[in-house]
Structure formats: structure tokens, C-alpha cells
A = this chain, B = another copy of it.
Amino acid sequence: MTKAPAPQTLDLIFAALADPTRRAILEMLLEDDMAVTDVAEPFEMSLAAVSKHLTLLMRAGLIAQEKRGRVKWCKLEPDAMRASSIWMQGFGQFEALDLDGLERFLEAELGEDAG
């Protein structure tokens, strides 16, 4: 697998991940596929703003959207992160699955980020 992505892909992915709202959205989608309205619910911004965030996430390939009826379902597309993950691995030989660190980290991130 792991086909080499177009150069601009990394731009889109990293730019998408640079926003706390969008990271929070990805974390929400990690637990369940969600409709746009439900994605927007916990945020204080307008639905249109969240819709724009979702568009960016989709252009980066990080989520997929499927319209069923009038509801557009958003679903995580975690493979897209692989490109950036691979790129970063060139810089430090990280251990892959630092679950301990992940746990502690996500606590902080979920607790304080992007409400």
C-alpha cells in the first residue's frame, strides 16, 4: 500500500491538522460517524463555519462525506494521515504505538482544546 501522495497533499493535510477545531472534529469522528449538524453541535461557531471546516478536512482526504437523504454523514478516513505520518518518520525514528503517551496526551488535548 502506502502509495506516494502528490506533494500538495502534505500541505493540505498538515494545514487541516493545524486547526484545533478540526482536530477536535477528527477526534469526535474517531468514536462515530456523524451528521454535519451533530458535528457542529458542541462548537460555539455557526453551522456554516463547521461546514467549511469539514470541506477542508475532506479536501485533505482526512474525512469522507456521504449524503443519505438530506443528511450528510461524515466519516473518518484515517489512511490519509499515513502520508504525513510517513513523512514525519524520517525525522526521529519514533516508536510507532506509544499508547501510554497517547493516552496522557489525548486527555490534555480533549480537555483543553477547541471547545
Beta-carbon contact of A26 and B91 below 8 Å: yes
Number of copies: 2
Beta-carbon contact of B23 and A105 below 8 Å: no
Beta-carbon contact of A4 and B83 below 8 Å: no
Please measure, in the bound complex, the distance between the C-alpha atom of A23 and the C-alpha atom of B106, giving whole angstroms. Answer: 25
Q: How far is the CB of A85 from chain B (nearest CB, A)?
A: 5
Beta-carbon contact of B79 and A89 below 8 Å: no
User: Would you call A76 an interface residue if the criterion is a C-beta within 8 Å of the partner chain's C-beta atoms?
Assistant: yes
Beta-carbon contact of B14 and A108 below 8 Å: no
Beta-carbon contact of B86 and A7 below 8 Å: no
By a CB distance below 8 angstroms, the chain B residues around A6 are: 108
By a CB distance below 8 angstroms, the chain B residues around A92 are: 78-79, 81-82, 85
Beta-carbon contact of A17 and B14 below 8 Å: yes
**Extra A-B contacts (9), CB below 8 Å, given A83-B105, A89-B102:** A4-B105, A4-B109, A6-B108, A7-B20, A10-B113, A79-B92, A82-B98, A89-B97, A95-B96
12 contacts between A and B (CB under 8 A): A2-B98, A7-B113, A10-B23, A10-B109, A14-B17, A30-B90, A81-B88, A81-B94, A82-B94, A85-B94, A86-B102, A90-B102
